[in-house]
Structure 1
Amino acid sequence: MLEKELVQARGFKNTTSEDGTITGFQVRVRLLYYRGIWLSQLRPGDVTVDGTKYSADTIKWKFGNKLYTVGELSQTGDVMWNLLEPATLFIKQDGGLKVGYHNIKVDYRFSSSYMPPVIDTLISETTTGDHKRKVLLVE
């Protein structure tokens, strides 16, 4: 079940390599649009955690069982992000994050089929609400 907020508390954790080394962290987000969008409509933004900004081109997005880079998202017009399916964002950071509470901000845009291509729908604190959330990381 999805939580109301864009940033989901469930699924927030450090990520590890096959040998158990912590290589980064992941956070899940939901689509705040009344219908699904094709991945090529998505305009990934930055993720900020505790004041550290991670640029969109360093983040991988996971839909279903497949990871996508920002470049791959723009070329994927045959996969849909459904309303009830969270996306998982993977961010590389040696050692991951410390256990405890972290302030997370996620922004992204998407184009809408009924709007001119120049205009994107903005999902950010400036238009539709505050998409910052304090989330607890546990081991």
Structure 2
Amino acid sequence: MLDTPMIQTGGFKNAPGGFEIRLRLPYYRGLWANLLEGATIEVDGEAFDAASIRWTIGDASFTIADLQEPTDLRWPVDVPAVLRVPRDEPLSIGFHDVQVELGLRMSYIPEELQPSYWTEQRKLVITR
């Protein structure tokens, strides 16, 4: 089940070579994956560049550069994206201040008014 906020409470965990975080599409309908501008993530003041983050939507995994190529991949509104963020050391067990800024382009909005950005902050916990 998806939380209402963009940053999901479930799925925040250490993973080999970094950590993972789950995002819900904050837009009210699905979006073609090549309209994603990317996401910058900050955990406890440490910033992670959008270009280094690997996106998994459904069964497909991509870098943001890969997603810019036209494909038939859509990010459905009811499917969380899993973002794998590279980091040398695992995050410590306990609470973390997490901020995500997600950039999206909309096919029906004039180019000069794009992209649109959603920013959200949450306190998440690493349990193991």
With normalisation by structure 2, the TM-score equals 0.94
Q: Could you say which residue in structure 2 is the equivalent of 1:138?
A: 127
Once the two structures are superposed, the pairs formed by residues 97-108 of structure 1 within 5 Å of their partners are: 97-108=91-102
| 3-state SS in 1 of match to 2:11 | strand
Give, in whole Å, the separation in 2 of the partners of 1:36 and 1:119: 20
Q: How does 1:1-139 map to 2 (within 5 A)?
A: 1-16=1-16, 23-125=17-119, 131-139=120-128
C-alpha displacement of 1:76: 3.7
Q: Distance in 2 between matches of 1:121 and 1:83?
A: 18
Q: Which runs of 5+ in 2 are unaligned?
A: none
How many pairs are equivalent? 128
> What SS does structure 2 have at the residue aligned with 1:32?
coil
Gaps of 5+ in 1: 17-22, 126-130
Q: Deviations along 1:25-73, whole A, 9 cap, x unmatched?
A: 0000000111100011111031100000001011111111221111101
Q: 1:8 and 1:103 mapped to 2: Cα distance?
A: 13
For 2:57 and 2:51, the matched residues in 1 are separated by: 17
Classify 1:13/1:76 alpha carbon distance in 2 versus 1 (closer, same or farther; 3 Å): farther
TM normalised by structure 1 equals 0.87
Equivalent in the alignment of 1:20: none
Q: CA RMSD in A?
A: 1.2
